[in-house]
Structure 1
């Protein structure tokens, strides 16, 4: 039987990680684990319960009492406790606060434990900011997905419009720049490219093209893994 590998996809906000990761998981028939959605679900719960996103101990306590569940094979539904929060976690309020929630070391520590348990049996595609460096440093394939700020902002803007959400391109651009700064400069698991990651610039590539590239590399790694 063919061995399964874990695929770690990292990159900044709006680089297309989630869309590509879902497509790769579907193609390989792997489990898709959206780590960003896990932080967004906690942020949604914090905002709903008026928990201060700057207070680490309160967030850790909230996380301990929150059940975050995702559909296994990339259907994309996310549940916080028993609420389907798939759309709610993409709101501007959640987007504006998620980097503040994700920067707390103890919050990240608890999330990483959950993410590692989900990927323990291999055959998973995870996307986030620190998958290849912290969550799964032994993943057989690591991808660092990059794109220019302008491209990332216009994609996010279009995504909002397509979903009937209000959107301001200039605000999104500034917010992406702000999140890049927080994500890459935080002390706990900053956004970094793993030394052995394959870097892909998606600025001038379609989702299908990026998916093809990653799946081709994954299939090569699976074959070499089978021969070990």
Structure 2
């Protein structure tokens, strides 16, 4: 079962993996590690709180898989997925010595409750084609604005802006075919900085185009 594979993947993540040029780290706590990337091997560290949250998601997914499948209008309602979150920060995020998953925590819209503000990760509730878009702002004279979109361990795209000392935006989007349990998230690369305030300049949005 795919859910069991995902759970096993995170449980085994405490094993130290081969270090890469660019290491992805979440939070200041010492977390467990998970290999990321295909062409360029990278690592990502999850804090204990994030791992516990992912385990909860897997437990819920296993329960839903064993339940009777809904039909008609009920099934149609359950298959609606759309979210949009802002960073929820008044100030700067970064720079960090390693990359970090960007935790968007200010809810704008969340239909289906598929985005986790603790882990910063979207989890596909079922197989389908989804669209994702991020918009991040930087304003530093010294630090670049470099962000990536990831699907599980695969980097989908990378947007980089050089430091200029005035506002600049990193914008990217992609349409992805996901299986149930696949993860999508945004990473702020090492040495980069983003800036946000109550105007919600930094956002992450995703929605289901159609199930498969």
Shorter-chain TM band: under 0.3
TM-score normalised to structure 1 length: 0.24
Higher RCO (CA 8 Å, separation ≥ 6 residues): 1
Higher helix content, 1 or 2: 1
Higher strand content, 1 or 2: 2
